[in-house]
Amino acid sequence: MGKYNFETADFNSELWEQLRGAYGNIQEDIAPLMVDNPEVPEDEKTLNPYMSYKSDYMIAFDNVCNQLWHQMSFYDASYIAMPYLAKAFNYWYEKNDFIMQVLFLINAGIIVSTDNKYNDIYNNIKDTIPENIMESYNQSILFFKEKAEELLTNKLDMLKQFKPDTVSYICISLLAFVGKREHSFILLLENFSQCPVICGNCDFFLEDIDLDNDIEDQEISEELNSLITPAPSVIGEWDRKSLDNTYIWLSNVLHIAGSCHDVKKLSYFYGTFTCPGCGTKSSPVIDVCMKALMEG
């Protein structure tokens, strides 16, 4: 697939039994995605998370997603699923079907976001995955990364068809490919709102910061601002090309989409935390959240 070299595991492979999803073997869920010239009814091509699918293809797609990112855990089946998802995505990419591409990119992003150091604590088979399987898994992620970058730069205007909240959800999922997986994981897991903090120096730990509510509430926001200094605004500072600095591109894409509230929340996640106990400063806050999650 372009410059990326990945192969899909044989359907007869014993790996399907070994590498399982949340509900077991995923082979029967993957197979319907591999039929020749699949068709999906137009009304099922939607980013509405409450859509109840009727077509075999979308039921299978939904099952694969539930198998691979249930409760934001990492599942071994992702190692064999990802090349298949890349192949299925490519069909819609070549058909120029934008909604289907976005659906695949969002879900592939969420799956990849779960492959991080927090979930690694529970992943003890990583070292036993056959080399070619691991290589194909990694190559398919690079393939998705290229397509995610293309969407965020060349196809940015097409995101305008979605509501601001939906654009935020798309962006934080794609962040798994174009930024740090851990950052994508935290924003997804904490609903782009909860922001637990922990001090690396003393034993201060605070779990109940909820930005959606707290930044709008005058009284609480004063208290919040004594803990977290938001990062300065970078609106207008993006060249619409570079994705190297997450805070810069993400702020600007959210701004373009009209999510002022989410731009503000993001400034807290990329701000500086000052411990009220000992005064130690740490930034960005999103890394502090990851630490709080692992140690809190």
Report the alpha-carbon distance of residue 187 to residue 169 in Å, rounded: 9
Number of residues that bind Zn ion (CB under 5 A): 8
Task: Give least dist CB 207 to Zn ion, A.
Answer: 15
Return the SS3 of 273.
strand
Exposed, middle or buried, 262 (CB in 10 Å: 0-12/13-18/19+)? buried
Q: 293 and 186 in contact (C-beta within 8 Å)? A: yes
Nearer to Zn ion, 202 or 235 (CB): 202
Nearer to Zn ion among residue 126 and residue 281 (C-beta): 281
Contact 117, 156 (CB under 8 A): no
Q: Which is nearer to Zn ion, 51 or 278 (CB)?
A: 278
7, amino acid identity: E
Segment near Zn ion (CB under 5 A); pick from 43-51, 61-69, 79-87, 193-201: 193-201
CB 75 within 8 A of CB 110: no
Tokens of 270: 């990329």
Q: Residue 282: beta bridge partners?
A: 273
HSE-CB for 179 with a 13 A CA cutoff: 22
DSSP 55: S
Site string for Zn ion, 144-183 (x = CB under 5 A): ----------------------------------------
Cβ-based nearer residue to Zn ion, 125 or 202: 202
Q: How far is CA 173 from the centre of its chain?
A: 3
Least Cβ distance, residue 201 to Zn ion (angstroms): 4
What radius of gyration do the chain's Cα atoms show?
A: 20
Contact status, residue 77 vs residue 65, Cβ threshold 8 Å: no
Q: Rounded to the nearest whole angstrom, what is the least distance from the CB of residue 200 to Zn ion in the complex? A: 8
Instruction: List the interface residues with Zn ion, window 195-224 (CB under 5 A).
Output: 199, 201-202, 204
Given the rule CB under 5 A, which of 122-130, 192-200, 228-236, 261-269 is the region that contacts Zn ion? 192-200
> Minimum Å distance from CB 279 to Zn ion?
7
- Closest distance between Zn ion and the C-beta of residue 277, in Å? 4
Residues of this chain, 267-286, that bind Zn ion according to CB under 5 A: 275, 277-278, 280
Least Cβ distance, residue 178 to Zn ion (angstroms) = 33
Told to check if 132 binds Zn ion by CB under 5 A, we report: no
Which chain residues interact with Zn ion by CB under 5 A?
199, 201-202, 204, 275, 277-278, 280
